Amino acid sequence: MTAAEPVPRTHSRARRIFGALGILIAAASAGFFFYMSPPPSAQSPEVPAYTLQVVRELPHDPQAFTQGLLWHDGHLIESTGIRRRSSVRRVNPETGDVVAQRNLDDSFFGEGLARVGDRLLQLTWHGQVALLWNATTLEPEGRLPYQGEGWGLCHDGTRLVMSNGGHTLTFRDPETFERLGSVQVRIAGRRVRRLNELECVDGLVWANVWQDDTMVRIDPATGNVTATVDASELRERIEVRRNAVLNGIAYRPDTGQFYITGKNWPSMFVTEFVPPAS
């Protein structure tokens, strides 16, 4: 039977059914099924819920598929994803303008980002290497291998903390990227899956939850979630596609504020996390 010949109705129906099954199987094997299924909310009445207070709304490049975000030397440094579009860039926080940028090799999908001294470490999703960059010039400085997927990354002053899209945080040596240990993240005894972008702040870890507008604060010593922040109002302020999810947390230590954005968002928000009244 050639492509130009009509397909009998029964064969056409069977082909559609098996074709759909084939797509689902392929998607599951490629990891897409994992991303598309709706995540459970990370909120719990047993954990303090902080209030997100918006201080300012700033411009952000809507073409930036934000994967990692950090504050350094008066600028935001951002890791962006998508193959053939991934980059590490220095951004003027007031204007959203990119003042310096390095593009990744086309085979890499950029992910989480951390700074250790004068060096940046940028994860790759399936590349299994951390890319090293000079934090000031963005000149490439090498690569460090690891196994598995790379999602989020932050530096707590002593070690690196890494996520891989599951419910585990992995600790790594900041010089060699050697695995030092791990902890499972739970909220009121339940696993918190799909941990994504990370930001280390005062010995604790703030994390985006993939496809959820909730951010969680994690005690890395125990893996317990010690606070949550509902950031859904940020999405309500801007018009973005459904898959343009919340992602990107940068803490500014001199003001105690958090810069928050999402994938392909046209805005960056300067925010404060206000604890509940005691």
Between 3-12, 84-93, 231-240, the lowest mean confidence (pLDDT) is in 3-12
pLDDT at 38: 41
**What's the pLDDT score for residue 41?**
54
Average pLDDT of span 120-145 = 96
Q: What pLDDT does 43 receive?
A: 59
pLDDT above 60: residue 113: yes
**Range 93-113 average pLDDT:** 96
Amino acid, single-letter form, for residue 216: V
Token digits for 175? 């010089």
pLDDT one-digit tens code per residue, 165-217: 999 999 999 999 999 999 999 998 999 999 999 999 999 999 999 999 999 99
Please tell me the distance from the alpha carbon of residue 238 to that of residue 261, in angstroms, as a whole number.
11
Predicted local distance difference test score (pLDDT) of residue 116: 97
> Residue holding tokens 């003001």?
255
CA–CA dist 212, 29 (Å, integer):
23
3-state secondary structure of 36: helix
- Residue 248 in this model has a pLDDT that exceeds 70: yes
| pLDDT of res. 15 | 42
**What pLDDT does 138 receive?**
97
User: Average pLDDT for residues 152-162, to the nearest whole number?
Assistant: 97
| Whole-number CA gyration radius for the chain | 20
Longest dimension (CA), the chain: 74
Residue for token digits 């204007």?
95
Read off the pLDDT of residues 10-49 as tens digits, 9 standing for 90 and up.
334 444 444 444 433 333 433 433 333 344 455 567 889 9
Asked if 146 and 152 touch (Cβ cutoff 8 Å), the reply is no
Sign of CA dihedral 154, 157, 160, 165: negative
pLDDT at residue 27 in the model: 39
Q: Which residues contact 3 (CB under 8 A, 6 or more apart)?
A: none
pLDDT of residue 32: 37
Angle made by CA atoms 275, 75, 168, in degrees to the nearest 5: 55
Residue 42 confidence (pLDDT):
57
Query: What are 82's two structure tokens?
Result: 């998508």
Closest-CA residue to 246 (of 205, 201, 211): 211
pTM (global) more than 0.75 = yes
Burial environment of residue 228 by CB neighbours within 10 A (0 to 12, 13 to 18, 19 or more):
buried
Secondary element (H or E) of residue 237: helix 232-237
d(CA 66, CA 77): 11
Instruction: Please give the average per-residue pLDDT across 265-275, as a whole number.
Output: 96
The average confidence (pLDDT) of the chain is 86
Going by pLDDT thresholds of 50, 70 and 90, the confidence category of residue 147 is very high
- How far CA 260 is from CA of 108, 154, 172, 234, 237, in Å, comes to 25, 15, 25, 9, 13
pLDDT at residue 55 tops 90: yes
